[in-house]
Chains A and B, each alone.
Chain A
């Protein structure tokens, strides 16, 4: 007990040192996504609602990545997800549907707020712009949800089969990939619909 206690104390003391590398890598991966925005900075600056919604979109996808990862690992340890049947698992399918539905609700709210705030800021409203922003937001969120579901299930199963803990890897990996890809997809759709 005493040994466990001192081990816990040691773990607390070395916390930042242990996470330094992972913090650095995840920050760099997130910043790589920003590179796509930097490439089209003048175009992005003209689409004000996209600038307003992008922190919310990133945060939303990060939250979904955390929910997917923690639920998946819990079910994996509880034996509710079996090898080779992860994609066909009823719990995972249900979670995917729930997150897709929540994602739709959030993307609607985010795009609506983005359009309203931009409208107030610029004192004008454009229905075509509003529709484009809504389409980008909804499609990016749904694509990312499916991608995160596949990524977490595949990487989680690989790690579990190799007797490695998916807990340590899945959350930092999925959240930084979510940040990165959300910006890449947003850039792609902005180029497609606004250029």
Chain B
């Protein structure tokens, strides 16, 4: 079948266009990994930690945005004239998301340590600390950015579900990776 026939297809166009932004951000993410190549070699277990760490941040922040838009729909978070009437519920949701993220990252650090120790016969307990510290740093950074982003989206009257999901998850990948590498760099110095 010819490629023209496929590119005329609406579904295929949607698949391709939806993937473009995240593709670009993920290439930046990959470049970041390549930039920190030495950290990868000097920090055993980081290769094990990265995929789960990235996956976790994406999932937690996609749950967060869908929860916030549900809370707005249910009236628990109120909007007046494109402004949040009370920012406390949003801060509370961000806090819950970050606690979940830090708790799972700690367990993930422990799993990385055990896998490294039992399967690859390398003992590097610092990987647990890297997971915790990296998670705390990225959670603080992302909380500020996500908070500002949500306020901006609401102010502009845009649909939180459609706009924020892909953008927040892709950026959380990038910032999560960056914070993890900075932490690993500090531990390997």
Contact = CB atoms under 8 A, between A and B. Distances in A.
Interface of A: 5, 8-9, 12, 15-16, 19-20, 23-24, 26-28, 30-35, 37-39, 41-42, 44-45, 48, 51-56, 58-60, 63, 67, 95, 97-99, 101-102, 105-106, 109-110, 113-114, 117-118, 121, 175-176, 179, 183
A38 B27 contact: no
Interface string B105-126: 0011001100110011000000
A16 B99 CA distance: 10
Nearest to A100: B6
Interface residues of B, number: 60
28 contacts: A8-B70, A15-B63, A20-B100, A23-B56, A24-B104, A26-B55, A26-B59, A27-B52, A27-B53, A30-B52, A51-B30, A52-B30, A52-B34, A55-B33, A56-B23, A58-B26, A59-B23, A60-B19, A60-B23, A63-B19, A95-B11, A98-B6, A99-B15, A105-B16, A106-B19, A106-B23, A117-B30, A117-B31
Contact of B37 (A16, A19, A34, A48): A48
Contacts of B48: 31, 34-35, 37-38
Given A12-B67, A105-B16, A38 B45 contact: yes
B48 to A, nearest CB: 4
A24 B52 CA distance: 9
A170 to B, nearest CB: 15
Given A51-B33, A56-B23, A102-B15, A33 B51 contact: yes
B12 A101 contact: yes
B112 to A, nearest CB: 6
B148 interface: no
A31 B30 contact: no
Contacts of B50: 34
B51 A30 contact: yes
B129 interface: no
Interface of B: 1, 3, 6, 9, 11-12, 15-16, 18-19, 22-23, 26-27, 29-31, 33-35, 37, 40-41, 44-56, 59-60, 63, 67, 70-71, 74, 76, 96-97, 100, 103-104, 107-108, 111-112, 115-116, 119-120, 170, 173, 177
Contact of B49 (A34, A60, A97, A98): A34
B67 A24 contact: no
3 cross-chain pairs, A with B, having the tightest CB-CB distances, nearest first: A31-B52, A52-B30, A27-B52
Contacts of B76: 9, 12
B120 A176 contact: no
Contact of A55 (B29, B47, B96, B112): B29
A55 B54 contact: yes
